[in-house]
């Protein structure tokens, strides 16, 4: 018998109309005017951060930047579900999540500027720094979640990654460990359609969420451009984690409207018509239409949001341009928590090299 068709969870259509969903709508029944406006504001500010950082890279002020354009609802909707004591393990694209966790814009480009090994203090915001090793954070999140469980901490851990990371062995190992040991971790896959130039159909012959089901982990697909639906399913998964229900897997179907990183040219591998289709599903426009339909939109609010975005972008630009260049030997600081023989050897060799090239 053919399997029953299932569709991604959706609570708001692209035109702003609400969708009746008796399972997931109650999970966000408390979300009113203030929370909807807060999510909209965070999404607009996140896009403003992204466009400013992209501009800085194009102007030669950043070495690299991984744009999040089009993925604002997936990141902000899920971040709004988190508690302050939950822990986030990110990939390299979650600037919107970082903003929602309280990371100041002044810290967001330090790594990409090449002046430090990291951007922010992970413990201060309970969120790891950008992880360039694809998929490694899945294992880190699982181990942290299991340790927290053993200590009796009633928290959840969430790991963000893209569709391409699901082809990495680290994610498979993390799913297996989390399932076997009941680790309270939420695996949040932002399926943005492309793993650099490889489309999702090359990554998996079946929906990515089904991979988790094969490990015995409950999984759900959600419209990743619907912030309210993302909030609902993430809340559901986090409740499961905090109450001893074990891991969950969320596949947020979204779209990367920009390049994979600023070193990429997406026009070489994807059709302009595909981009145009997804631009009509813009997550920010969708939430604005909901606000308009429900009488929660006015010009004063619109101006307030714009001013907030401009303020944050100005802070990010100013901080980036004024970051001091580190001394060369600082390269060997903060690599390991304790002294390391090989690092010390490299430090001596590099010091000798510098002495040889200096006049």
Q: What is the pLDDT of residues 159-192, one digit of tens each?
A: 999 999 999 999 999 999 999 999 999 999 999 9
User: Taking a C-beta distance cutoff of 8 angstroms, is the pair 164, 196 a contact?
Assistant: yes
Averaged pLDDT score across all residues of the chain: 95
Mean pLDDT of 320-334: 94
Question: Cα(339)–Cα(43) distance, rounded to whole angstroms?
Answer: 42
Helix (H) or strand (E) holding 248, with range, is strand 248-253
Interior angle at CA 84, CA 73 and CA 102, nearest 5:
60
User: Taking a C-beta distance cutoff of 8 angstroms, is the pair 191, 213 a contact?
Assistant: no
Question: Cα(93)–Cα(49) distance, rounded to whole angstroms?
Answer: 12
What's the pLDDT band for 66 if we cut at 50, 70, 90? very high
Q: Looking at residue 273, what is its pLDDT?
A: 96
Q: Looking at residue 178, what is its pLDDT?
A: 98
Q: Given 256, 281, 288, 289, which residue is catalytic?
A: 256
Q: Looking at residue 334, what is its pLDDT?
A: 86
Q: Which residues pair with 158 in a beta bridge?
A: 88, 186
User: Taking a C-beta distance cutoff of 8 angstroms, is the pair 227, 77 a contact?
Assistant: yes
Percent of the chain with pLDDT over 70: 98
51, 40, 121, 72: which is closest to 314 by C-alpha? 51
Interior angle at CA 289, CA 288 and CA 293, nearest 5:
120
Q: Looking at residue 225, what is its pLDDT?
A: 98
Q: Which residues pair with 188 in a beta bridge?
A: 160, 250
Mean pLDDT of 75-94: 98
Q: At what angle do helices 33-58 and 283-293 cross, to 10 degrees?
A: 150
What's the pLDDT band for 2 if we cut at 50, 70, 90? very low
User: What is the phi/psi pair of residue 308, to 5°?
Assistant: -65, -45
Question: Cα(252)–Cα(248) distance, rounded to whole angstroms?
Answer: 13
SS3 161: strand
pLDDT at 5 exceeding the cut of 70 = no
Q: Looking at residue 357, what is its pLDDT?
A: 83
SS3 190: strand
Q: Looking at residue 223, what is its pLDDT?
A: 98
- What are the tokens at 322? 């004024």
What's the pLDDT band for 359 if we cut at 50, 70, 90? low
Identify whether 347 is a catalytic site residue: no
Q: What digits encode the pLDDT tens for the residues 103-121?
A: 999 999 999 999 999 999 9
Q: What digits encode the pLDDT tens for the residues 183-235?
A: 999 999 999 999 999 999 998 999 999 999 999 999 999 999 999 999 999 99
Identify whether 256 is a catalytic site residue: yes
Question: Cα(40)–Cα(136) distance, rounded to whole angstroms?
Answer: 31
- What are the tokens at 157? 């851990």
Q: Given 47, 149, 235, 260, which residue is catalytic?
A: 260
Of 132 and 318, the structure prediction assigns the larger pLDDT to: 318
SS3 198: strand
Q: Looking at residue 285, what is its pLDDT?
A: 98
Mean pLDDT of 249-275: 96
Q: Looking at residue 47, what is its pLDDT?
A: 98
pLDDT at 3 exceeding the cut of 90 = no
- What are the tokens at 208? 């990515």
Which residue has tokens 């409740």? 239
User: Taking a C-beta distance cutoff of 8 angstroms, is the pair 209, 251 a contact?
Assistant: yes
124, 161, 125, 121: which is closest to 141 by C-alpha? 161
221, 223, 217: which is closest to 185 by C-alpha? 217
Within the chain, residue ranges assigned H as helices are 33-58, 72-79, 95-100, 110-113, 122-125, 136-150, 169-181, 200-203, 209-214, 227-242, 272-279, 283-293, 299-321, 341-357
Question: Cα(97)–Cα(161) distance, rounded to whole angstroms?
Answer: 12
Q: Given 269, 334, 340, 353, which residue is catalytic?
A: 269
pLDDT at 295 exceeding the cut of 90 = yes
Percent of the chain with pLDDT over 90: 94
Residues 6+ apart with CB under 8 A from 28: 11, 228, 231, 232, 235
Mean pLDDT of 63-68: 98
pLDDT at 354 exceeding the cut of 60 = yes
pLDDT at 4 exceeding the cut of 60 = no
């Amino acid at each position: 018998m053919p399997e029953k068709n299932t569709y991604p969870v959706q609570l708001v259509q692209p035109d702003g109309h609400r969708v009746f969903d008796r399972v997931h709508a109650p999970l966000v029944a408390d979300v009113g005017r203030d929370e909807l406006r807060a999510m909209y504001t965070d999404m607009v500010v996140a896009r403003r951060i992204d466009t400013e950082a992209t501009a800085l890279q194009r102007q030669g002020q950043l070495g690299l930047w991984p744009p999040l354009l089009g993925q604002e609802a997936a990141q902000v909707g899920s971040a709004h579900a988190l508690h302050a004591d939950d822990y986030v393990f990110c990939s390299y694209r979650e600037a919107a999540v970082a903003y929602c966790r309280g990371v100041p814009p002044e810290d967001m480009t330090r790594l990409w500027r090449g002046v430090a090994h990291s951007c922010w203090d992970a413990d201060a915001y309970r969120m790891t720094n950008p992880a360039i090793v694809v998929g490694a954070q899945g294992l880190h999140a699982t181990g942290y979640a299991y340790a927290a469980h053993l200590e009796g901490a009633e928290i959840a851990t969430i790991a963000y990654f893209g569709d391409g990371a699901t082809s990495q062995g680290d994610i498979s190992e993390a799913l297996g460990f989390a399932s076997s040991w009941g680790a309270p971790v939420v695996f949040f896959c932002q399926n943005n359609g492309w793993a650099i130039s490889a489309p999702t159909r090359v990554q998996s012959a079946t929906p990515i969420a089904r991979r988790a089901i094969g490990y015995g982990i409950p999984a759900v697909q959600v419209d990743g451009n619907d912030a309210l639906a993302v909030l609902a399913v993430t809340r559901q998964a986090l409740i499961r984690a905090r109450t001893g229900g074990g891991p969950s897997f969320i596949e947020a179907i979204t779209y990367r409207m920009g390049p994979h990183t600023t070193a990429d040219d997406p026009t070489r591998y994807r059709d302009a018509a595909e981009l145009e289709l997804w631009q009509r599903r813009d997550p920010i426009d969708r939430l604005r239409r909901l606000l308009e339909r429900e009488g929660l939109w006015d010009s004063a609010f619109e101006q307030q949001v714009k001013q907030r975005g401009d303020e944050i972008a100005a802070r990010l630009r100013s901080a980036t341009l004024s970051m001091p260049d580190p001394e060369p030997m600082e390269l060997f600081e903060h690599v390991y928590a304790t002294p390391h023989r090989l690092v010390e050897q490299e430090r001596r060799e590099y010091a000798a090299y510098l002495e040889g090239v200096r006049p």
